Amino acid sequence: MDHAQAQSQNVFDLLVVGAGPAGLMAAEQAARAGMRVAIAEAMPSPARKFLMAGKSGLNLTKAEEPNTFLEHFDTIAPLKPILAQFGPAEVIGFAQGLGQEVFTGSTGRVFPTRMKASPLLRAWLARLDALGVVLLRRHRWIGPLTTDAPHLLATPKGQVAVTAGALILALGGASWARLGSDGAWQTPVAAAGVPIVPIQASNVGLQRAWSDHMRPFFGQPVKNIELTVADQRSRGEFVITQSGVEGGAIYALGRMLRQTPLARIDLAPQLSIHALRDMISNRKPKDSLSNFLRKSVKLDATKRALLFELTRPMPRDTDGLIAAIKAAPLQVSGPRPIDEAISTAGGLSWDALTPELMLRDFPGVFCAGEMLNWDAPTGGYLITACLATGRWAGRAAADYLSAKALT
**Is the predicted pLDDT of residue 8 greater than 50, yes or no?**
no
CA dihedral 35→40→44→50, nearest 10 degrees, is -70
**pLDDT, tens digit, 9 for 90 and up, residues 294-311:** 999 999 999 999 999 999
Q: What is the mean pLDDT of residues 400-405?
A: 93
**Is the predicted pLDDT of residue 2 greater than 90, yes or no?**
no
Do 162 and 18 lie in one domain? The reply is yes
Q: What percent of the chain has pLDDT over 70?
A: 98
Which residues have a Cβ under 8 Å from the Cβ of 14 and sit 6 or more positions away?
Answer: 27, 30, 35, 36, 37, 38, 164, 165, 166, 167, 168, 397, 398, 401
342 within domain boundaries: no
Residue where a domain stops, chosen among 296, 331, 366: 331
| Rounded Cα gap, residues 339 and 252, in angstroms | 19
- For the chain, the domain total comes to 2
Do 274 and 290 lie in one domain? The reply is yes
**Is the predicted pLDDT of residue 3 greater than 60, yes or no?**
no
Q: What percent of the chain has pLDDT over 90?
A: 82
Q: What are the backbone dihedrals phi and psi of residue 228, each rounded to the nearest 5 degrees, phi first? A: -130, 130
Round the average pLDDT of the chain to a whole number and report it. Answer: 93
**pTM of this structure:** 0.89
Do 233 and 167 lie in one domain? The reply is no
pLDDT of residue 405: 86
Judging by DSSP bridges, how do beta strands 37-41 and 11-17 pair with one another?
parallel
Q: Which domain holds residue 121?
A: 3-200+347-406
DSSP secondary structure, 150-182, as one string = PEEEEETTEEEEEEEEEEEE----SS-GGGT--
Q: What is the mean pLDDT of residues 136-149?
A: 91
193 within domain boundaries: yes
54 within domain boundaries: yes
Decide: 302 and 217 in contact? Cβ < 8 Å: yes
**pLDDT, tens digit, 9 for 90 and up, residues 357-390:** 999 999 999 999 999 999 999 999 999 999 999 9
181 within domain boundaries: yes
**How far from chain centre, in Å, is Cα 253?**
14
Residue where a domain stops, chosen among 331, 356, 390: 331
CA-nearest of 387, 404, 394 to 79 is 387
Do 163 and 56 lie in one domain? The reply is yes
Do 54 and 106 lie in one domain? The reply is yes
Do 181 and 296 lie in one domain? The reply is no
Q: What are the backbone dihedrals phi and psi of residue 85, each rounded to the nearest 5 degrees, phi first? A: -85, -25
Do 23 and 84 lie in one domain? The reply is yes
| Rounded Cα gap, residues 327 and 324, in angstroms | 5
Do 362 and 319 lie in one domain? The reply is no
Do 182 and 219 lie in one domain? The reply is no
336 within domain boundaries: no
Residue where a domain stops, chosen among 264, 298, 331: 331
Q: Which pLDDT band, with edges at 50, 70 and 90, does 140 fall under?
A: very high
**pLDDT, tens digit, 9 for 90 and up, residues 46-67:** 999 998 876 778 899 999 999 9
pLDDT of residue 194: 96
186 within domain boundaries: yes
DSSP secondary structure, 63-91, as one string = ---HHHHHTTSS--TTTHHHHHHSSHHHH
Q: What CATH number is given to the structural domain containing 90?
A: 3.50.50.60
Do 25 and 61 lie in one domain? The reply is yes
Which residues have a Cβ under 8 Å from the Cβ of 19 and sit 6 or more positions away?
Answer: 39, 41, 43, 46, 47, 135
Q: What is the mean pLDDT of residues 282-292?
A: 90
pLDDT of residue 1: 28
Q: What is the mean pLDDT of residues 34-52?
A: 94
First to last CA, the chain: 19
337 within domain boundaries: no
Do 171 and 246 lie in one domain? The reply is no
112: helix, strand or coil: strand
**pLDDT, tens digit, 9 for 90 and up, residues 241-263:** 999 999 999 999 988 898 889 99
286 within domain boundaries: yes
293-298 CB contacts, 8 Å cutoff, 24+ apart: 293/325, 297/268, 297/271, 297/325, 298/268
**Is the predicted pLDDT of residue 9 greater than 80, yes or no?**
no
**pLDDT, tens digit, 9 for 90 and up, residues 70-121:** 999 998 999 999 999 999 999 999 999 999 999 999 889 999 998 889 999 9
Do 28 and 43 lie in one domain? The reply is yes
| Rounded Cα gap, residues 49 and 256, in angstroms | 26
The percent helix, strand, coil of the chain (3-state, each to 5) is: 40, 25, 35
The CA-atom distances, in angstroms, between 232 and each of 254, 263, 344 are 11, 10, 20
Element (H, E) at 57: none
CA-nearest of 44, 141, 79 to 388 is 79
Which residues have a Cβ under 8 Å from the Cβ of 332 and sit 6 or more positions away?
Answer: 206, 207, 208, 244, 245, 257, 261, 262, 263
Q: What is the mean pLDDT of residues 27-35?
A: 98
